[in-house]
Structure formats: structure tokens, C-alpha cells
Amino acid sequence: MIGMPEMMIPTIETERLRLRGWQERDFSAYAAYRADAKSQKYLGDVMTRDQAWDRFCVDIGVWGLRGYGIFAIADLASDEAIGYTGIWHPLMIDEPELSWSLFPGHTGQGYASEAALGARSWLYRSLNLPPLMSLISPGNHASKAVAGRLGAIFEREFMLEGEPRHLYRHPK
């Protein structure tokens, strides 16, 4: 019988946030985020509910395959999912990317920086990864500001599926 490796997704707490594995109750907020054109402006096309479910399941399943992945960002008090951060590492890129995004209504409060820093610290400490990178669309000034707050430095231009990105390198 073929089985899936046991997934050990840690829970990390920061001052205001909990980074944790996804739960089925998080899906409605996730699907609404994936269907929102403004939220997806720099990430690709909006998704139907079925497409969002597939991506949601991928984000959960990659933990079992690689031992790292995307955390749900949850409000520490309510445990409501408000975004995500962690490692995105599809086959089309050679190295893992530290990524982050917040659901509508949760931007502009420093959550992305706080969450990405918490995830990055755990990734470096627990997995001994080399300096991580982040791929950011040239016009995504909010994500560039987060990268700057994290101490990441612009390294070079990068093409991702025919779209230009700026590659930022994070300090170790």
C-alpha cells in the first residue's frame, strides 16, 4: 500500500499571528481571495472555486513531499486565516521562494512582514536552507516594501512563465 509521509507542519506564533497548517474551515476565505481580481493582480488569473480548491490542496500536500510549504497566516486571537506565507517551490523554478500574501481587508497592518519574518526564521533555523529569494512583479510596490523590511536586496531581473519579476535575496 502506498501511503503519504506523515506531515509535520509546525505552528509558529509571532506577536500577533499564528502560522499554521491549512484547515478545511480556511477554504472559504482562501477561495474568495483567489476569486478577487485585485488580490490576484500580480499572481495570475482569478480562480473558480474548483480551481482554488485544487491549489489549496496543493499548498497542503507539498508539505508531505518536501517538508516545507505554505503556512496559513491566522490572527492569533481568533485563529481566522488572513493570508499565507512560506515556501513556494514549483518545478519551474530552481530554488525555493519565500512568498507572502494577505486576504482582502488585512493589508496595511504589517502582517505580511511579521508573518514572512516568522516563517523565514523557522525555515533557516529548522531546515538550514541557503539564503532564500522572493520573486516580485515590478509593479508590486507593497511586496517590494515587505522585502525591504525583511532586509532582502534586489539581485536581478527574472522571467517567470514569460512574465518579468524582480528577484530579491534574503539575508541568512
Q: Whole-angstrom Cα distance, residue 69 to residue 82? A: 17
How high is the pLDDT of residue 126?
Answer: 93
Q: Whole-angstrom Cα distance, residue 132 to residue 139? A: 21
Let me know how long the chain is.
Answer: 172
Nearest to 115 by CA among 16, 43, 22, 27: 16
| Cell numbers given for 150 | 525583511
- List the chain domain ranges: 12-130
Tell me if the domain spanning 12-130 has CATH number 3.40.630.30.
Answer: yes
Contact assessment for residue 111 and residue 142, using Cβ atoms and an 8 Å cutoff: no
- pTM here is 0.93
22: Cα separation from own chain's centroid: 12
Q: In what order do the strands lie in the sheet with 97-102?
A: 12-13, 17-20, 70-75, 81-88, 97-102, 133-136, 163-169, 153-160
Residues of the chain with pLDDT under 50: 1-5
How high is the pLDDT of residue 44?
Answer: 85
Query: For residue range 151-162, what is the model confidence (pLDDT) as tens digits?
Result: 999 999 999 989
Helix (H) or strand (E) holding 165: strand 163-169
How high is the pLDDT of residue 7?
Answer: 58
Distinct helix (H) and strand (E) counts, the chain: 4, 8
